[in-house]
Structure 1
C-alpha cells in the first residue's frame, strides 16, 4: 500500500480477509487539513460475531503451537515494522496529525513492544517443585481464548501494540476495534502480520463506533477486554465487560501534575515541562496538564514562556484530532480567562498556511489558576498547561492528591530528599523526577491509579502476562512405593 494513494474505504479484517458487508459508513478526515482520506464501515453486532467466530476457530491450533513458533512470527513482524518505517510514520501523520518525529517515535516504540513480546518465553518458564516425596506440583500459564482490544485515536500505531504482541504470543486470538478516527494504521498492521506468517483468524479488526464496543463487552465468547480512552467511557466499558464476567483493564484519562520547586534546574525544567505539555499536541495521557509552582519559581515560568514561543503549529507542533476537539480546548482557555486566570501564552485561533482547514491549537500557558477552575480539574487533551501556586511542598502534594485522576506525577528539584517525599506521597501510578513524561520502558509496565485505570494489573510489560493468561495447576504422583505422608 502506498500512503500517497487515497484509501477510498477501510474494510473489516476477518479470518485473514478484508471485507465489507454494505453497512453504513463514516468519513475519515485528516486533522492536518480537514480533507477526507477514507471512510469506515459502521459495523454491527453480526460483524463482531463473525470476527469472534473466526478467532474462536483459529484458537485451538494457534494456542497449540509452541512459544518458539509463535515468537518467530513476531520476530519477522518486528523486522517488517522497521522495513516499512517511513510508510507507517506517514500513515500516523496523515490520520492523527502528529509531527514526523512524533509519528516515527511511535512506530519505534511499537518495535520495542514487539521486542518485549518475543522475550516472554524467557520470562514465564513453568514452575515445578517436588512438594512431597514422589509428588510433584506444576504451574503452567495458559491463554484465555478469544480476547479483545479497543484502542484510541491518539496513538494509532503504538497503543495497539500495547496489547497485540503480548496477547498473541501468549496464545490468545484477538478482535481489535480501533478508533473510528484513525483506522488506517491498524489496517496496515494486519497486512504486515499476514506477511510475517500470522495464521488467518488469529487477529481480526472490526471498525465502527459505540455498537461495536457494546457488542465486544457483551459477547459470551470474548474472555478479556482491554480499553484505552477517556475515563467516562473507560468506566462504562469496565462495568459492562465485568458484568458479563470478563476480565477487563480499562485505561482512562489523566490530569498529570508537575511539581516545580525553587531549586529546580531552570533550563532543564522549562524545556521538560513545555515538551511534556505540547508533545503530540498534548493528546496523550502522560502530558503535563498542571504545573504546581512551589514558592519562588517565577524565573522558571518566564523561561517556560520563552521556550513555548519556539513551538509553532504546523512546524514542530502537530494538529489536534478534530474540529470539535479544537473548539473544546479553546473553550477551556476562554473559560479560565473569564474566571480570572492570566493567559501568559495564547494558542487560540492558530492556523497553518496552506492547511487552513486543519485543526491547530498553539501552545498555551495559563497562570494564576485556582483549584476550582475547570482547567485545573478536567482533562483538556491539548497543548495547554495550567499553573497553580503553592507555598510549600506539603501544599503542592495536597493539590496533586486532590485530583480524581492518578496517571502520572513528576517533581523538578535538585534535592533527593524532597524528590523522595513526592515519590512516596504522590497519588499516581507513574512518577517522574526531573522527567516531564515518566513513561516506563519495557519490561516495566504502564498504568495509572484512581480514575486513570480500572481493573487489576497493567496493560504492558510483565504485569500484562497475568492479564492475558490463566494458571493451570497439576499435581503428579507416579511412585507407589514413595513414603506415605499427608499428600498420599
Structure 2
C-alpha cells in the first residue's frame, strides 16, 4: 500500500477513522493498491459539524477583505504545487498528466474568482425617503456541505470551496470514496494559506455519510455533483429536511454537425470532447447528430480517434466495473445494428495490464432508441446518429431528459443562432466540443442535469451561498410619522 490509510480532516487535524467498513483504493492506471479508506459514521459527521459551528462564530464576523487574503495565498500554493497535485490526481483518477495539469489550472482560475468577491457583493443603498435609507448586504448561511464526484478530484471541490468559504461559511466536504487522496492535500494547502481551524473539514465515506449530511440539522445547505439518480435523491432528502440544495446530475450531450462545418477543426474537437478525461466528464460529447451528408467529417473523426493511445494520450476509466459497463454498451449497440468504425474494447496497455482502459470508440448508424443513444455512457465513446434536417437533430437533442450541454459545428451564423435558441441545454457551444463557461460565467445545466436554483460556480453561486439582509434606517425625527414608521 503506497499511502497511509485515509483520515478525516477536522478542526485543522487529520483524525483516524474508527470503522469496520474499509474500502481498498486502487489506481486505475495500473491496478496498484494506493491506500485504504475506512468509512465514517454519522458520529464522525457530528464531530465535524460541531467543529465547523465553533469556527463559524469567528469566521463569519471576519471581513470579506480579510477572508479572501487566504485565497490569494491558496492560489499561490496551487501554482507552486501544480505538478505534485496533477500527479496525485492522475494516479488516483486515471487521467493523463496533461489533463490533470489542466484540472489544477482550472482550480487556480476558480480561486481567482473567489478573490474578486469583495467587489461583487458590495450590496445596495438608496435614500428611499428624506432621511430614510434602505440597504442590502450578503450574509453567510452557516455550516454548509459539498458532496463531490470521482472524475475531477480537485476541480469540482474547488467549484465550491473558495466561494462558499470566502463568503463566510464553514464547510464540510464529502469526497468520492474512489479518489480520497487529492482532497487531503487541498486541506493541507488551505491550512498553510492561513485558513483557521474548523472552517474546512473533510468527512470520508460512502452513501451513509451522504444521507447523514442531508439529514443533519446543523448543516444549512448542500451542494452535490454526480449522477442524476443520486442527485435526485440528495435534492429530495436535503430539501425535505428544509435545507438549500443544488444538485448537479448527469448528461447526454449532443454535437450537431452540419455539412458545412470545417472538417479538420470539427473532427479534432469532436474527438477531444468524447475522449478527454476518458469521457468521464459531464460535459463530454457522447452523441453526434450528423445533419445531412457528413461522411467526409466522420472519416476524419475516425482518423483522429485512432491517433489516441490508451495509457499515453488517453487515460484510464475509474475501475473495472466502469470498463465492463462501457464495453457492454458498445457490444449491445453493435448487436442492434450499429456499425463500429473504431473499436476500443479489450484494450491492454503494456506494463499496465491491471489498468482499466477503454480505447477510443466511434459508432455509426446508432438510432435514437438504442441505450447507447439515450443513457450516459461516461467513457471515450461517440455514437453517431444520422439525421436529414437541423430540426430533426434538435428534436432528438431536446427529447433527451438531460440538459447540460449542446454544440453545433457549422460556418452558418443563422444555423448557429437557431441552435442556441432552440437547444434545451444550459450551456451551448458553436464550433466548441466542450462549451464550459470560463469564470465569472457560471456552470450549470437544465432539466435532469440540475436540481435546484442557480449555478454552482461564478456570479450565480453567490446567491446560493449567502442570504440577503435588508436594513432600513431613519434618523430625522422631524420627518414625523409616515408609512415607514
Q: Does the TM-score normalized on the shorter chain lie above 0.5?
A: yes
Aligned partner (choices 135, 139, 143) of residue 140 of structure 2 = 143
Aligned partner (choices 115, 123, 127) of residue 124 of structure 2 = 127
Task: State the match for 1:423 in structure 2.
Answer: 420
Task: State the match for 2:7 in structure 1.
Answer: 11
Aligned partner (choices 390, 400, 414) of residue 403 of structure 1 = 400
8 Å CA contact 2:142, 2:169 repeated in 1: yes
- Superposed CA offset, 1:220-266 (max 9, x none): 01000000000010000000000000000000000000000010000
Secondary structure of the equivalent of 2:478? coil
Task: State the match for 1:348 in structure 2.
Answer: 345
Question: Which consecutive unaligned segments of at least 5 residues does structure 1 have?
Answer: none
8 Å CA contact 2:17, 2:39 repeated in 1: no
Secondary structure of the equivalent of 2:351? coil
Task: State the match for 1:290 in structure 2.
Answer: 287
Q: CA deviation at 1:483?
A: 6.1
Q: CA deviation at 1:39?
A: 1.1
Give distance in 1, aligned partners of 2:121 and 2:409: 37
- Superposed CA offset, 1:246-299 (max 9, x none): 000000000000000010000010000000000000000000010000001000
Task: State the match for 1:23 in structure 2.
Answer: 19
The 1:211/1:131 distance shift into structure 2, 3 A limit, reads: same
Q: CA deviation at 1:26?
A: 1.0
Alignment of 1:62-461 (within 5 A): 62-461=59-458
Secondary structure of the equivalent of 1:176? strand
Give distance in 2, aligned partners of 1:226 and 1:56: 18
- Superposed CA offset, 1:103-124 (max 9, x none): 0000010000000001011011
Secondary structure of the equivalent of 1:441? coil
8 Å CA contact 1:133, 1:483 repeated in 2: no
TM-score when normalising by structure 2: 0.99
Q: CA deviation at 1:482?
A: 2.5
Give distance in 1, aligned partners of 2:291 and 2:177: 42
8 Å CA contact 1:144, 1:172 repeated in 2: yes
Q: CA deviation at 1:481?
A: 1.1
Question: Which consecutive unaligned segments of at least 5 residues does structure 2 have?
Answer: none
Give distance in 2, aligned partners of 1:394 and 1:66: 53
Aligned partner (choices 43, 57, 65) of residue 60 of structure 1 = 57
Count, aligned residues: 484
Q: CA deviation at 1:46?
A: 0.3
Secondary structure of the equivalent of 2:246? strand
Q: CA deviation at 1:485?
A: 4.1
Secondary structure of the equivalent of 1:461? coil
Secondary structure of the equivalent of 1:320? coil
8 Å CA contact 2:19, 2:39 repeated in 1: yes
Q: CA deviation at 1:484?
A: 5.3
Secondary structure of the equivalent of 1:444? coil
CA RMSD of the aligned region, Å?
A: 0.8
Aligned partner (choices 458, 466, 470) of residue 473 of structure 1 = 470
8 Å CA contact 2:8, 2:17 repeated in 1: no
After TM superposition, what 4+ stretches of structure 1 lie above 2 angstroms from structure 2? 482-488
- Superposed CA offset, 1:415-453 (max 9, x none): 000000000000000000000000000000000001100
Q: CA deviation at 1:21?
A: 3.6
- Superposed CA offset, 1:144-199 (max 9, x none): 00000000000001000000000000000000000000011100000011111110
TM-score when normalising by structure 1: 0.98
